[in-house]
Amino acid sequence: MTTFIDQTKIHVKAGKGGDGRVGFRREKFIPKGGPDGGDGGKGGSVIFTADHNLGTLLDFRYETKYNAQEGGAGGVNQRFGADGEDLPLSVPVGTQIVNEETGEILADLDAHGKVYVAAKGGNGGWGNVHFKSSINQAPTRANKGLPGEEFSLVLELKLMADVGVVGFPNAGKSTFISRVSNARPKIADYAFTTLTPNLGVVEWAQYKSFYIADIPGIIEGASEGRGLGLQFLRHVERTRFLVHLLDPMTLEEGRDPVHDYLALNKELATYSAHLAAKPQIVAVNKTDALGDGELEQMIAEELKEKAGVEEVFMVSAVSGRGLGPLVTMLGAQVEKMRREEIEKLEPKKDIF
């Protein structure tokens, strides 16, 4: 199993431009044969490309320094030096490139094939042929190549999922995502089974699908670093909306579906106002263990009255009860949001 790494620091350095050459050809009646020093080649650049075949920044954890090739020096007979080769680096879709010193987000590679030139190669120096003039027929001057750009960067991966599943440990997120998608996370009946986000594809209708991710380890205090939540909260920032999975069977003192719903939303709001504003679908899991419909109705009413939840889905990830209607609703909602986003991007046409 590939180790999941979603943040790392690296140093990139573009290639230096090649030096210009001081040279003279040998011709009769021309002082020193006349200048013929060529220009230096351009240094290579460091270029990132988003690749949907990748899912981790693991390679960048072990190799942290990346240098592009330097440009070649100018040659005789006004020959240009060879350009340095660019250094291509592939990263998972959803990777943000951040300037470590300033914290500025330099690029957000949120689509397959998206490219960012992180460090530009230096220009090559001029050969002495450029410095010939009427008063200086035999210049002995040439320019040095310019240095390439150099930066310390932070690479931060944020999963590109349409739907994020959040909930306290043991709410059944892993079982839920394994039942509705092609993801196969580790499942066990103890807290923090999931140590990395799991991304899956949900086929909810013929030729229609969406991406779903379960986010592990969010507990009270997650926004302050407790549990695993702070490490993975970034992965729900890109989702279109959240499925809030609640556990009605917890035996932990002071906990119930209303408490868990309010507490987790408090953590989301503390971490990011943007997260708190995301639409949520509330689902109560493990209903196969509740016994009768009265208890379900009581839980739903409490969530509506005490937490302001408008609609509650009753499901069981183990038995599959209620998953079909929920998935269909999720798919329709994703499709609606996608359509609205496309409409915003398309230029409006005047109608006469």
pLDDT in tens, 219-278: 555 445 554 455 667 777 788 899 999 999 887 788 899 999 998 888 888 878 888 888
How confident is the model at residue 57, as a pLDDT? 86
Listed residue (269, 248, 233) closest to 313, CA to CA: 248
The answer to whether residue 351 sits within a structural domain is: no
Q: Which of 43-47, 56-60, 226-230, 322-326 has the lowest mean pLDDT?
A: 226-230
The answer to whether residue 1 sits within a structural domain is: no
How confident is the model at residue 192, as a pLDDT? 41
Q: Which of 110-124, 134-148, 232-246 has the lowest mean pLDDT?
A: 232-246
- Residues in Cβ contact with 241 at an 8 Å cutoff, skipping those fewer than 6 apart: 163, 164, 278, 279, 280, 281, 333, 337
Determine the structural domain holding residue 64 and report its residue range.
7-157
Asked whether the predicted pLDDT for residue 116 surpasses 90, the reply is yes
Same domain, 241 and 116: no
Same domain, 137 and 264: no
Same domain, 125 and 220: no
Using the 3D structure, point to which of 157, 173, 190 is the last residue of a domain.
157
The domain total for the chain is 2
CATH code, domain carrying 37: 2.70.210.12
Same domain, 141 and 167: no
The answer to whether residue 332 sits within a structural domain is: yes
The answer to whether residue 352 sits within a structural domain is: no
CATH code, domain carrying 207: 3.40.50.300
Residues 273/278/279/285 CA torsion (nearest 10 deg) = -90
Q: Which whole-number Å values give the CA distances from 213 to 143, 148, 164, 238, in the listed order?
A: 54, 40, 5, 11
Asked whether the predicted pLDDT for residue 117 surpasses 70, the reply is yes
Task: Give mean pLDDT, residues 39-44.
Answer: 94
Q: Which of 133-147, 224-238, 301-315 has the lowest mean pLDDT?
A: 224-238
Using the 3D structure, point to which of 157, 191, 218 is the last residue of a domain.
157
Beta pairing, strands 312-314 & 198-205? unpaired
